[in-house]
A and B are shown apart, each in its own frame.
Chain A
Amino acid sequence: MTSPVLEANNLMLGYADGAGWNPVLEDFSTSLQAGEIVTVLGPSGVGKSSLLRVLGGLQSPQRGDVTLFNQPHKKPHPRVAVAFQDPCLLPWLNLEQNVGFGLNFASQPVHSTAQRKEKVAHALEAVGLTHARRRYPKELSGGMAQRTALARCLAREPSVLLLDEPFGALDEVTRGEMQALLIDIVKARHTAVLLITHDIDEALQLSQRVLLLGGAPATTLNEWSIDLPYPRDDHIEALGLLRIDILKTLRHSSRKVTNDLIKGDLACA
């Protein structure tokens, strides 16, 4: 096994509470290999988006550390692209300019204007938005905006792609197309992808590994490896069994949390 591209060790995330920290997520560890899609699955409020910011170098964990190419990773890196839950397009730039945004930053590899244009054109073609390249964000639908945000990540040809529910606003057909596109990119460019979602089916369709977060504070409840070829439409049965297993684990964990809360309340009374 080759060395991981991105590695998280014993991360703890929380919010300030008086003198200390109130943990939201504890003891999170994982590693991400090149060409691998890993999904972090979990209900709302377990700190998934904060976790993504920590892995993107945008936020420091309260405890633990992250390494990128075996180096400490504490700030944003040009080889790591992040697609946020919100497409976050700049309203004064048209779609094409939004996709190319950041490509000329000093931290990025040096490319000529023609090369940058070519990268933008390829990314737009990949997400099927070439026809709308001159439009401004307010003229785009939610789905088009999400695809633009994805194209902005792709144009940079990153080694690590961190995605925070990027397909949430898409209709079923477009979502399927985008998922297929993601798989193609990973195959072609050997990109390591970490996807945050609360959609079990999406996790099962895309990932080679699924990490399930749950509990309060959240921890990794379980991890599943899915060694099935893409596209996975022909493996409904195997995926269905996994789905049931994930749901069972999640329900068991939420029942435990509820029981703990009731016990806590009774103790207080």
Chain B
Amino acid sequence: MTRIIRQAALPWLLGGVGILTLLLFWWAWLGPLDGLGRLGNLFTPQATLASLTELLRRAELYEHIAASLQRVLVGLGLALLLGIPLGLLVGASHYVEWATTPVFQFLRMISPLSWMPIAVMVLGVGNKPIYFLLAFAAVWPILLNTASGVKQLDPRWLQLTRSLSATRRELLFQVILPGIFGNILTGVRLAIGILWIILVPCEMLGVSSGLGYYILDTRDRLAYSELMAMVVLIGFLGFFLDALARIAYRRWAKG
């Protein structure tokens, strides 16, 4: 029993050691930066923690977090709306797969941020270009995982469903979609990681809310300890979102 507890606790313990080592490196790295004088002190873990505690008391911070999370959700929603049907088509038909693979691989390899000027020109400043860029970044893992899920579907499930005289709609909603749900969740988890990375630079352009905007704001105010606090917070929130996606996968991806 003790051994089981020890085995279960070990990953957490080692994870904690990893975080502490990171903090130690952070702290040790700023030591030799004496040349920065008082400025250097603003980047230390101690100053960052103090600013973070102070920031967490401000309602303003939560408004920025809410704005960012809303953009992630809209981006993810659009990516799901587009990625799942396309993925189903690609997975179900070799012809569609052959016709679309080069296009998708070409588009996928273009950094979504490189569309930013065009997105702003076409959609104007505000949330719309951000939604577009986020959806464009998140659609690929969802599309490709959905397609691969369809290709890996157990042919016996399809045979069983046919033997029960299912319509196409029944086949789609009662077998295919539940059967590839785990793949879709894997796509969502990957998409969330990408969305969170793309979000911050996206919010540095043409909006006055969100975590990316707030980073620029702290820089303009020369509030460097707040800037570091925001960097840490972005990391924490990303970690939390990924953990949620992992929990969802474990909870719902039966098989």
Contacts and interface: CB of A to CB of B under 8 A. Distances in A.
Contacts of A105: 164-167, 170
A231 B221 CA distance: 92
B254 A101 contact: no
Interface in B158-172: 159-167, 170
A136 interface: yes
Nearest to B159: A58
A76 interface: yes
Classify the interface of chain A: helix, strand, loop or mixed: loop
A56 interface: yes
B181 A92 contact: yes
A92 B165 contact: no
A181 interface: no
A56 B160 CA distance: 11
Interface in B172-202: 174-175, 178-179, 181
Interface residues of B, number: 19
A91 B175 CA distance: 10
B11 interface: no
Contact of A77 (B160, B165, B175): B165
A117 to B, nearest CB: 17
Nearest to B254: A92
A58 B162 contact: yes
B254 A86 contact: no
A81 B161 CA distance: 11
Interface of B: 156-157, 159-167, 170, 174-175, 178-179, 181, 254-255
Q: List the 8 closest pairs (A to B, CB-CB), nearest first.
A: A102-B164, A107-B165, A92-B254, A82-B163, A76-B165, A88-B156, A88-B160, A91-B255
Interface of A: 56, 58, 75-78, 81-82, 84, 86, 88, 90-92, 101-102, 105-108, 136, 156
